[in-house]
Structure 1
Amino acid sequence: MLTWSKEIIIPAPIETIWNLFQLENIQRIMPNIVEHKPLEIKEGVVGSTYEQTYREGKRTETYIVTDLEYENNDQKKHKKIEFTLAKAFKIQAAYTLIKLDEQSTRFIYTGQNEGLNLMGKTFIKLGPKKSNEKVVDGFVETVRTEAMKDA
Structure 2
Amino acid sequence: MSESAPLDSEERSRRLNLLLDTIPKDGSRATFAQIQSFLASQGVRLSQARWTYLVRGGRGYERINGERALMTAIAAFFQIDPSYLLDRAGPVPEALEQQLELLRQVRLREVRLYATRKLGGVSPDTLEELNRILRDSETD
TM more than 0.5: no
Q: Which has the higher helix share?
A: 2
- Which of the two has higher C-alpha Rg? 2
Question: Normalization by structure 1: what TM-score?
Answer: 0.27
